[in-house]
Structure 1
Amino acid sequence: MSIVVKKRKRATTFDESGNKTRKKGALVIQRKINRRLTLLESLPYELLTRIFLLSKNDSLATVSPVLWNRLGIKEKIPSYLFIDFTLCMNPKSVILAIQRSLPRRYFTLQLLNYIDELVAAGYVQKSQREGLLNGKVIHAGHKGHIPRRILFQPNARQFIEDLKTRNFSFKTSTLTNGFLIGLKMKDSNRLSHVGHLVFQEVLNKEENDVETVFQPAFEQCIIKDSVDLLDIVYGFWFNLAQMRWTKFRIDGFLAQSLEYAVSRKATNSVHYLIGKGAIPQLATLLKFQ
């Protein structure tokens, strides 16, 4: 593969006094394939897609620009190819195939519904331990895990509820990491979206999970010294803490967070936490001076 560099023609314009001016032409970089196609790249589409399915590797499309054009552009791929790719993950179990495919970006709620319809119509064979409940494929003995990518889907709540009917649930570590990723996006709307989902999931978990999920988020906001982000995280945490913790434990958590903010010299966070009722110890105040 070679790189071809082309220069655009200079555009002639006129300034306020009527004099001619020229803008420098921008460089346009194009890729040109000047090699023979490999045997894999030159295969008929039917064979190529079959190899793609049997490989169970969705990165195959990134091996070369030719394969990317034939396999990797989502708009060109028919929906049945995604379904076949999913079912190839575990030909003996639909639910286990879904579990392996959930972390992949192509897997959507719509695709999941398509698989349900195919199973219900008899086009896809389920295992003996699998059945249909309200038109959804379930596995009696399988407890699946929901990946964090689902938290960031536009229809995340509906997607999560659908998976829960199939005995899928979130790990506490997944919620923690998902919330931290939401913080790194620097988008308050996305963070609020993820925060509401995390709030609902932690609400049904054990008491200690409140601290496990939210303490890393507090620390991340303090490192950034962002009051805006800290205020969003504080709101979700405080609503849960009031329902699950004693006042003594709430005060202890705030004091611990305040001490961490002082150690990081996060001035904005220190003033915010004190304003929320964090009681500083004398040793902590002396460090802040």
Structure 2
Amino acid sequence: MAVMYIYTDLCEHFACGMCGSCCRNDWLITVDEESYRRNALLFGKTGREEEFGKAFVPILNPNANCVGEYAYIAKQANGSCWFLNGDNRCRLQVEAGHGHLDAVCQTYPRYPINTTRGVELTLSFSCPTVLKLAMRPQPLAIVRSEHAPLVFSLDSCVAAVYPRQQPPSDPLRYYFELEHHFIDILQCRGLTIEERLGLIETTVSGLLKIGRSDGINQGLDMIIHNNYTIMDSKSEAAGQWCACPTDMLTDILVEHFFVNFIFKKPFYLYGLERTAKLLRHMWGRFQARGKKESDRLGDMERICSVITAIEFEYGHNRKALLMPDNF
């Protein structure tokens, strides 16, 4: 049976911009033992055992490591990856090919998830090229295809989402319907972003209540119907949802960020209430960086800075983002 790919339309337009930014970020690229041995063999064949010893640093306490973290790739003195050359190209990739790289380097900024529907794919907004692609007025679209929009390994999926494994009384059993609805709310431009997040919070509160009753199907339908009634009335007053003056692009970039984040399935992985609070925490960070003398969010540079920081935390320091103080 053919695999179904479900992805944000940004994936169709992505190609590495070779800016070198991800190879200069303040994170450690870890490799598993198989990758470590593979590289030892490669460097040994060319008499570069000394460089291998400097480039790949074993993690000293393997019993405390996460699965797949056997060693890490060292940094140059300027903070960039050991293998980044002056042309922003990876020396290891040039020498041995893309397939030789560790899973992290092969996959980033792709974000694949294995679900009941197929393989779902989006991109990390911590990548400058992805962020530039997202600077557009058109809403993000979800695409379904039997063909993957980008090359990536099916073994690189970061999570598994199977809603039907949830009990009948759990709203997450209907996760895909909820995700679709949450995205519709986030893309309702007749509402301010504050109002959209408020509607999501109200929806989550209602879902938690009906989850404790026997009428979850009827209750879910009623909540969604009422929400669309609200959104329809607001969109009629505001005109076309996608109509957008250029000075609204910062707001729309925040919208795209939230939609992309929801597509990563946090509501399923971390729960409805916790994720709603996480969205509120993120929104607070955008507001804190906005211009105090205005209701506007602030300039594009500041918004991009907040997005990059949040994406970095979610991708590489999730404990900090999900710590109790944020809720």
TM-score (norm 2): 0.26
Q: Bigger radius of gyration, 1 or 2?
A: 1
| TM-score, scaled to structure 1 | 0.29
Where relative contact order (Cα < 8 A, 6+ residues apart) is larger, the structure is 2
